[in-house]
Amino acid sequence: MGLKMGLPDRSPPCRFYGTLSPPPALIRFHDFRPAPVRLMLKFLEIRDFALVDHLSLQFREGLNLLTGETGSGKSIIVDALGLLAGTKARAEMVRSGSGRASVSGCFQGVDGLCGLLEASGLEFDPEEVIVRREVVPDGRGRAFVNNQMVPVAFLRKLGTHCVDIHGQSDQQSLFGRDSQLQWLDLFGGHQAPLAEVGGLFARLEQRREQLRRLKSSEQERLRAIDLMSFQVDEIRKAELSSPDEESQLLEERRLLSNADRLFQASHQAYAHLYESEDSIGARLRQTGRLLEELGSLDARCQGLQEQFQSACISIEDVSLALREYASRIEVDPARLDRIEGRLVEIDSLKRKYGESVGAVMAYGQRIEAELKELQEADRRVEVIEKELQDLESDYLSRAGSLSLRRKKAAEKLERSMGEELEQLAMEKTRFRVAFSAAPARGGDGSTTAMIARTSRGTDLIDFLISPNPGEDLKVLAKIASGGEVSRIMLALKTIRSIDDRGKTLVFDEVDSGIGGRAADVVGQKLKVLSKANQVLCVTHLPQIASYADNHFHIEKRVEKDRTVTRVVQLDRESRIREIARMISGERVTDSVLTHAAELLQSASN
């Protein structure tokens, strides 16, 4: 539906979106999307959330900008997205007088998430996923994925693949050590050596588990041998012939149990057809003589006689088959008893070792192999210990080479970050990559034993930042200023994205404390970043706003004695007026409008 809404007093009509579902005039996006489609947020619907009674936004690829007066509710959009990414809900999020707040988002291009969704047992469309979060006044609530209830923890897991929020109250994939190490490896192009280290680590873990089992206490080992020997003997003595043995025995038992009925039915049927004095066969012979007489008197009846003879032959065949069947039926109580006993034996094995004969046979084969391994434990221990030594030596060598490559990449990254941060008016900020190695559990106290082994090598790293001269370097996650964090994350993501498929990146307060040339650089970097990722940005600066592909204006109104937040999408003329307002406030002159138009034109070029 279309409402004539815009900036106060001056803006031309703008578009306002009503619900999460596309209006009738729109086609579902996956009906016409190009391939491949980047993972991105398509729709966002908010109900009874803070100052919002109901609004719905349709986002597109590229750079989506949110602007408006201070206090108009721009951060409400960011907080709503945070709920979809699994952030903690708060009671004050529910609009006064409402029973619950809800936020729904539709993400497209989610084919890369199919494994995660399938592993969680969720039904899903490989082209889109709808996430919903509800909050009640006491701060609790529920979470849904495709209308299926899920734990909030699952939203956090899903959110790391779909959205990164950078600002004062954010959830960011690059705050964790594992993510930072992954980012550095992507930046340095370490995929090949990383795969080698990961493969060696997997083999090490497999051999360690084998060794642990073999070195379990001697009493436990002997008890296990006794138990497994008994189980193997019991299954062997059963001499199970095939996975189908039980079903074949059940069928044979059914026939033997009904032998009397089968004999009576087949014998009586044969008698009715052929053997008794008034059998159908006797009557057919009489009928045949009559038809033969008709055929001799009237040639037209000869065809009937031929058809009749054919039917008689078929009936005679059935009669002979019934006689043969009845003669083969044997009542064998002894065989029936043996079958019953065998079925009881199979049922006992199934209760112990598996749900079917096939499962019991498979269990027997597996336990026999484990028994052999335990019986040969002493010799196997020596072999595996030697393999472990060789694998560990190879692992440490490859991990050491990978660590050297990482340190070279870290030096290059520090230089690149220095250049990026200087352009973002953070020229005095220092960025460092700190390497450390956590002590391994156990070990013999040697240096080698104390180095942690993981599937990603022996390194632990932290991104450290010192925003101001004279301050110590601190872990990135502990930086206080949301604006600084947003620009640091912008610089990192400009250098290298952690997700080659792209995701929705949200920047709040990225323009805090900057202006002029630095603001224009931020706008340019957001624009470049939006080529590989969908970007949503809250900004107060006209230089940044001029780079938008999709521009929304947020305003706070009083309607029916209630304060509400409204969002409108701006067309070009409305954007010129909004950028002019951002330049000069409410006193918009023709020269300011001209300057705003020039900003837009310059950004588009």
Q: CB under 8 Å to 195, separation ≥6 — which residues?
A: none
Judge whether 489 and 27 are in contact, CB under 8 Å: no
Using pLDDT thresholds of 50, 70 and 90, give the confidence band for residue 238.
confident
The residue from 355, 385, 414 where one domain ends is 355
Q: Is the pLDDT of residue 180 over 80?
A: yes
Whether residues 54 and 159 share a domain: the answer is yes
SS3 45: strand
Residue 466 lies in a domain: no
- Rounded average pLDDT over 314-337: 78
At residue 500, the pLDDT reads 56
Whether residues 150 and 11 share a domain: the answer is yes
Q: Could you identify the residue written with the tokens 């470049």?
A: 528
Local structure of residue 53 (DSSP, 8 states): E
Whether residues 39 and 161 share a domain: the answer is yes
Tell me whether residue 162 is exposed, middle or buried, using C-beta atoms within 10 angstroms of its C-beta: 0 to 12, 13 to 18, 19 or more.
Answer: buried
- Higher pLDDT among residues 169 and 116, named by residue: 116
Range of the domain at 265: 245-355
Judge whether 436 and 460 are in contact, CB under 8 Å: yes
Whether residues 249 and 161 share a domain: the answer is no
Whether residues 293 and 151 share a domain: the answer is no
Residue 270 lies in a domain: yes
- What CATH code is carried by the domain that includes residue 582? 3.40.50.300
Tell me whether residue 259 is exposed, middle or buried, using C-beta atoms within 10 angstroms of its C-beta: 0 to 12, 13 to 18, 19 or more.
Answer: middle
Residue 147 lies in a domain: yes
Whether residues 16 and 149 share a domain: the answer is yes
Dump pLDDT digits (tens) for 239-290.
888 888 888 888 878 777 777 777 777 777 777 777 776 778 777 777 778 8
Local structure of residue 17 (DSSP, 8 states): B
Residue 585 lies in a domain: yes
Using pLDDT thresholds of 50, 70 and 90, give the confidence band for residue 37.
low
Whether residues 256 and 143 share a domain: the answer is no
| HSE (side-chain half, CA atoms, 13 Å) at 260 | 2
pTM of structure: 0.59
Gap between the Cα atoms of 472 and 231, Å rounded: 65
Whether residues 252 and 130 share a domain: the answer is no
The residue from 307, 334, 355 where one domain ends is 355
Gap between the Cα atoms of 302 and 300, Å rounded: 6
Give the mean pLDDT of the chain. 81
Q: Is the pLDDT of residue 320 over 90?
A: no
Our CA dihedral for 374, 375, 381, 382, rounded to 10 degrees, sits at -160
- Higher pLDDT among residues 74 and 141, named by residue: 141
379 phi/psi in degrees, rounded to 5: -70, -40
Task: Give the orientation angle of helix 177-188 with respect to helix 377-423, to 10 degrees.
Answer: 80
Residue 456 lies in a domain: no
Residue 347 lies in a domain: yes
Ranges of beta strands (E only) in 69-185 are 101-108, 128-135, 141-145, 148-150, 163-166
The residue from 339, 355, 371 where one domain ends is 355
Residue 58 lies in a domain: yes
Q: In the chain, how many domains are there?
A: 2
Judge whether 506 and 164 are in contact, CB under 8 Å: yes
Whether residues 10 and 120 share a domain: the answer is yes
Residue 399 lies in a domain: no
Whether residues 155 and 256 share a domain: the answer is no
- Rounded average pLDDT over 576-603: 87
Whether residues 7 and 156 share a domain: the answer is yes
CB count within 10 Å of CB 371 equals: 17
Q: Which of 10-24, 210-224, 443-457 has the lowest mean pLDDT?
A: 10-24
Q: Is the pLDDT of residue 174 over 80?
A: no
Using pLDDT thresholds of 50, 70 and 90, give the confidence band for residue 392.
very high
